[in-house]
Chain A
Amino acid sequence: MEFCILSIIRQGEVYPSDLVEKMKSANLHILEGTLYPLLTRLKNAGVLTYRWVESNSGPPRKYFVMTDQGLQFYHELELTWNELAAAVSSLTQPLTSTNNS
């Protein structure tokens, strides 16, 4: 979950409700109420940081950006994810190959 979020944030600074939209478009549904604590936690852990952006249609918004430490964390997550993906595909692949042949 955090991996997905971080990858979105990595692409550019984003504010929470945008994040929710992007996740939705990738077919990952997440509640805003879940998101906010998560972001705050990541921010407290130093993975993310934010800046305030004023807006005229409402209260100022927080825009989240990844920090360097965050980037490090992100890479680690990426590694783990790749490993996981490889493991799963290696398990499922013999089935598909036998089906094909």
Chain B
Amino acid sequence: MKKVININFQGRVIPIEESAYEMLKVYTDSLRRCFANEEGRDEIINDIESRIAELFGEALKKGSVCITDSQVNTIIDNMGRPEELNQDEPGMNAGAASQNQSATSGTAQTLPPLRDKIFRDNNDKILGGVCGGLAHYLKVDPAIIRVAFALATIGWGTGVVLYILLWVILPSRSLTGVSSSKRLYRNPDEKVIAGVASGIASYFDIAVWVPRLIFALPLVTGILSSFFNHYFHWLHNNESFSRIVFSSFGGTLLVIYAVLWAIIPEAKTATEKLEMRGEKVDLNSIKNTIQEDLQGFKARAEKWGKDVSEKAQQMGEEVSQLGEEVSQSVKDTTTSVVNEARPMAQSGISRLANAIGILFKAFFMFIGGVISLALLAALVAILFAGASVFPLKDFVLDSAPQQVLAWLFLLLFFGIPIIAFITAFVRRLMGVKSGNNYLGYTFAGLWVIGLVSGVFLLAGFSKHFEVKAREKQEYVIAQPTSGKLLVTVADSEISTTTISSGIKVSGLLRIDGDSLQLSNISVHVEKSSDSLFHVTGTRLSNGKDGEEARKNLVNIQYGFTQQDSVLKLNRGIHLPPNAKFRNQQLVLTIQVPVGKKIQIDRSVRNRFFFINIAENEDGDDWSDFDSKNNWRTGVEYEMTQEGLKRTGNTDNPKSWDTDNDEENSPMQDSRKSRRQLEKELEKKNQELDEIKKELEKPAEPKKVALHTVPSDKRGFFYWLQSANSNSAVIREDKVAAAAYIFYHKLI
């Protein structure tokens, strides 16, 4: 059902559908513009309108109730569309030009050929219309010219100079658009970030995801390559090379994307969309495009399930845009089509700012994308790490419910975010919009379940650590003949880091086939109560209750070998194959008699990792074991009445002995002799003085006195005098003087 209005057309009253009337009006307006330069334009238009009125009359006579859209369309077709009329004229002019002067004097009024001179295009400009004018002259898509300029600018900076030059030189005109060719636009309907990829796809008639993948490819390969680098190390030699290649490639591509985003105009009006696809631009196809857009838009709105008011609002906008576009399109096909999307009043500077703003937007989106991708990478890395720790599962967990909980925890807590990321990423890539929020809720719910199971797991797990048991045992050692004991860790058991023979988990734990080795060992040095060296080992273990703790403890096996004065400790405590991790520890206490020396080798620090998970409630001799060790590796100590004292024979020369001393517990501090402290203080002061001297010394000879001596001839001479060398150098001008100073680093 359409609205019908009555119009007074050429002196007759004609009933006509409103939409048909709009079409007619647009047509006559376009004709008016079309013949703007013609002499007798009004007469021509009048003629045409009369003819149309005649045709209307015939139609009505034949029995139509009113003039319809289709009738108007047919009439316009027969009359001829604006662009067809325009193109015909030059052709006819060419034929008649050589014939008759009087005839051609009339025809010379038609559109002058604009293609043999370069102008700046007033209608198709982003900054100053230089590219648009060039494109018009060369009859290519302006976007290509712009890209060339952008490349020139990035590459050598000459593009900017050239652009400004052309801007100044070329006069500006309102040029007719090169509307018949296919133009490169950004497609706003199918955009993931800015529609660059889909615009390119339309231009080249390829599937949308292809250019998108091309843009995303370097990022993806970058991530993959960084994974490989990390886990397989085979790229170690070429690491920097491959990184440079990938990261620079990815970076370049993103810069290209941003540049294209700024350059390529967005196909907002229906005309532009048609041009983007390369279809013929006329009223019919414009109408079809708009209808397609409307339909597509409707479908999308339904799919998203947005609320009704929004839908109605948007549709209202589309409808008003339809009317706008129809009128605009006819106007635009003869002048320039592109620029209707941009307000004409924009000055060049604001356009530049616009372009820069777009570049910034692209940059920030890029950063955001990188961050999210980094998160994704982290999650995946955790998953990989988890996979490598997998064999520990049996060691740590024990009962069936625990295992289930553990699985749930791992999979859900870590797996869900990964899956969500991948889904979102793929979705964006394919341009598919998610239909519902249920997926998000489902993901969130599963993740919460994972979290809860993790909590339960932790609770269940910690139950096994409630009680701690310990047991002391003395080892038999031979007294070192030299009076000094060297403590090292045997390294014969350490295999190279190959994954095939057993799995090594960075030091603390080793699973070798079916035996477990835990390096949870701590070495303490004490004063011996007699004149002999003693080594005692204290085994500790946790358990659910006292009985289990003791059971776990008994299973700890440890030993060491001795070669005269070298104590070779085993790398870790051995546990039976099916033992569970219950914070089994071993504390080796070495008692050194007064007057004897001891040195702990660096291998001890490297290979023992003492961790203490659970609190212990027993008495106060524990505080010994809890405090940090009172020795440093590689340093020889002598046991005195007051405690360990450094003898000064060290492996690693260092002037300060800070860390262990400061970390001592209060008890240990009180043991330290005051003399020792004083000595250290003195040493510190000495060093300080030394450093001060160092700083001060070089300063002196660098002093320079700068005198100016007036010369009778010209200017001043600069008389540079060095403080310690007493030599004077004369330089004639300031610049040379400054250069001299710089050169000799005098100031």
Report A's interface with B, CB cutoff 8 A: 1-2, 16-17, 31-34, 36-47, 55, 57-62, 73, 76-77, 80
Contacting residue for A39 out of B47, B89, B100, CB 8 A: B47
Beta-carbon contact of B103 and A58 below 8 Å: no
Q: How far is the CA of A1 from the CA of B107 in the complex (A)?
A: 14
Beta-carbon contact of A16 and B84 below 8 Å: no
Beta-carbon contact of B102 and A46 below 8 Å: yes
Q: How far is the CA of A16 from the CA of B107 in the complex (A)?
A: 20
Q: How far is the CA of A36 from the CA of B44 in the complex (A)?
A: 6
Cβ–Cβ < 8 Å partners of A37 in chain B? 35, 38, 44, 85, 89
Cβ–Cβ < 8 Å partners of A2 in chain B? 92, 95-96, 103
Beta-carbon contact of B95 and A1 below 8 Å: yes
Q: How far is the CA of A73 from the CA of B81 in the complex (A)?
A: 30
Task: Report the tally of A-B residue pairs with Cβ distances under 8 A.
Answer: 98
Beta-carbon contact of B103 and A59 below 8 Å: no
Q: Is the interface of A mostly helix, strand, loop or mixed?
A: helix
Beta-carbon contact of B80 and A31 below 8 Å: yes
A59-B84 contact, Cβ under 8 Å, with A1-B95, A36-B48, A37-B35: no
A42-B88 contact, Cβ under 8 Å, with A17-B51, A62-B47: no
Beta-carbon contact of A31 and B61 below 8 Å: no
B274 CB, min distance to chain A CBs, angstroms: 22
Cβ–Cβ < 8 Å partners of B95 in chain A? 1-2
Beta-carbon contact of B85 and A61 below 8 Å: no
| B1-38 interface code vs A (CB 8 A; 1 in, 0 out) | 00000000011100000000000000000010001001
The count of chain B contact residues (Cβ–Cβ below 8 Å) is 37
> Is B106 an interface position by the 8 A CB rule?
yes
B72 CB, min distance to chain A CBs, angstroms: 14
Beta-carbon contact of B53 and A33 below 8 Å: no
**What are 5 A-B interface contacts by the 8 Å CB criterion?**
A37-B35, A40-B43, A57-B54, A59-B12, A76-B100
> Is B473 an interface position by the 8 A CB rule?
no
Cβ–Cβ < 8 Å partners of B105 in chain A? 45
| B62-84 interface code vs A (CB 8 A; 1 in, 0 out) | 00000000000000001111001
Q: Which of A16, A36, A61, A80 has the most B CB atoms < 10 Å from its CB?
A: A36
Which residues of B87-105 are within 8 A (CB) of A? Answer: 88-89, 92, 95-96, 99-100, 102-103, 105
> Is B512 an interface position by the 8 A CB rule?
no
Task: Report, nearest first, the 9 A-B pairs whose CB atoms are least far apart.
Answer: A33-B80, A31-B80, A58-B54, A58-B57, A40-B40, A33-B79, A59-B10, A36-B47, A41-B106
Which residue of chain B has its CB nearest to the CB of A37? B44
A41-B107 contact, Cβ under 8 Å, with A2-B96, A59-B10, A76-B99: yes
Q: How far is the CA of A61 from the CA of B11 in the complex (A)?
A: 13
Which residue of chain A has its CB nearest to the CB of B42? A40
> Is B58 an interface position by the 8 A CB rule?
yes
Q: How far is the CA of A47 from the CA of B53 in the complex (A)?
A: 27
Q: How far is the CA of A16 from the CA of B43 in the complex (A)?
A: 14
Cβ–Cβ < 8 Å partners of A36 in chain B? 44, 47-48, 51
Beta-carbon contact of A33 and B84 below 8 Å: yes
> Is B733 an interface position by the 8 A CB rule?
no
Q: Which of B47, B61, B84, B85 has the most A CB atoms < 10 Å from its CB?
A: B47
Cβ–Cβ < 8 Å partners of B61 in chain A? 57
A46 CB, min distance to chain B CBs, angstroms: 7
Q: How far is the CA of A36 from the CA of B49 in the complex (A)?
A: 10
Cβ–Cβ < 8 Å partners of B57 in chain A? 57-58
A50 CB, min distance to chain B CBs, angstroms: 10
> Is B324 an interface position by the 8 A CB rule?
no
Instruction: A55-B54, A58-B53 given; name 18 further pairs at CB < 8 Å.
Output: A17-B51, A32-B51, A33-B48, A34-B84, A36-B44, A38-B92, A40-B38, A40-B40, A40-B43, A40-B47, A41-B106, A41-B107, A44-B40, A57-B54, A58-B57, A58-B58, A73-B100, A76-B99
Which residue of chain A has its CB nearest to the CB of B53? A59
Q: How far is the CA of A61 from the CA of B57 in the complex (A)?
A: 13
Q: How far is the CA of A36 from the CA of B39 in the complex (A)?
A: 12
> Is B50 an interface position by the 8 A CB rule?
yes
Contacting residue for B48 out of A32, A55, A60, CB 8 A: A32
Q: How far is the CA of A20 from the CA of B530 in the complex (A)?
A: 132
Beta-carbon contact of A57 and B58 below 8 Å: yes
Cβ–Cβ < 8 Å partners of B51 in chain A? 16-17, 32, 36
A97 CB, min distance to chain B CBs, angstroms: 30
Beta-carbon contact of B11 and A59 below 8 Å: yes
Q: How far is the CA of A32 from the CA of B48 in the complex (A)?
A: 8
Q: How far is the CA of A61 from the CA of B52 in the complex (A)?
A: 12
Beta-carbon contact of B107 and A31 below 8 Å: no
A80-B53 contact, Cβ under 8 Å, with A32-B48, A32-B79, A33-B85: no
Which residue of chain A has its CB nearest to the CB of B102? A45
Q: How far is the CA of A36 from the CA of B12 in the complex (A)?
A: 21
Beta-carbon contact of B80 and A34 below 8 Å: yes
B69 CB, min distance to chain A CBs, angstroms: 19
Q: How far is the CA of A36 from the CA of B80 in the complex (A)?
A: 11
Q: Which of A16, A17, A41, A42 has the most B CB atoms < 10 Å from its CB?
A: A41
A44-B106 contact, Cβ under 8 Å, with A16-B51, A36-B48: yes
Which residue of chain B has its CB nearest to the CB of A73? B100
Beta-carbon contact of A40 and B79 below 8 Å: no
Q: How far is the CA of A47 from the CA of B85 in the complex (A)?
A: 22
A59-B99 contact, Cβ under 8 Å, with A2-B92, A31-B79, A31-B85: no
Cβ–Cβ < 8 Å partners of B102 in chain A? 45-46, 73
Cβ–Cβ < 8 Å partners of A77 in chain B? 99
Q: How far is the CA of A1 from the CA of B81 in the complex (A)?
A: 19
Cβ–Cβ < 8 Å partners of A16 in chain B? 47, 51
Which residue of chain B has its CB nearest to the CB of A42? B103
A70 CB, min distance to chain B CBs, angstroms: 10
Which residue of chain B has its CB nearest to the CB of A43? B40
Which residue of chain B has its CB nearest to the CB of A15? B51
A49 CB, min distance to chain B CBs, angstroms: 13
Q: How far is the CA of A43 from the CA of B107 in the complex (A)?
A: 12
Q: How far is the CA of A73 from the CA of B102 in the complex (A)?
A: 10
Beta-carbon contact of A80 and B99 below 8 Å: yes
A91 CB, min distance to chain B CBs, angstroms: 20
Q: How far is the CA of A2 from the CA of B107 in the complex (A)?
A: 12
Which residue of chain A has its CB nearest to the CB of B50? A59
Cβ–Cβ < 8 Å partners of A41 in chain B? 38-40, 103, 106-107
Beta-carbon contact of B79 and A61 below 8 Å: no
Q: How far is the CA of A87 from the CA of B474 in the complex (A)?
A: 128
A47-B99 contact, Cβ under 8 Å, with A31-B80, A31-B85, A38-B92: no
Which residues of B188-231 are within 8 A (CB) of A? Answer: none
Which residue of chain A has its CB nearest to the CB of B91? A1
Which residue of chain B has its CB nearest to the CB of A80? B99
Which residues of B135-192 are within 8 A (CB) of A? Answer: none
Q: How far is the CA of A58 from the CA of B57 in the complex (A)?
A: 6
Cβ–Cβ < 8 Å partners of A39 in chain B? 47
Cβ–Cβ < 8 Å partners of A32 in chain B? 48, 51, 78-80
A44-B39 contact, Cβ under 8 Å, with A33-B48, A76-B100: yes
| B97-124 interface code vs A (CB 8 A; 1 in, 0 out) | 0011011011100000000000000000
Q: How far is the CA of A23 from the CA of B331 in the complex (A)?
A: 30
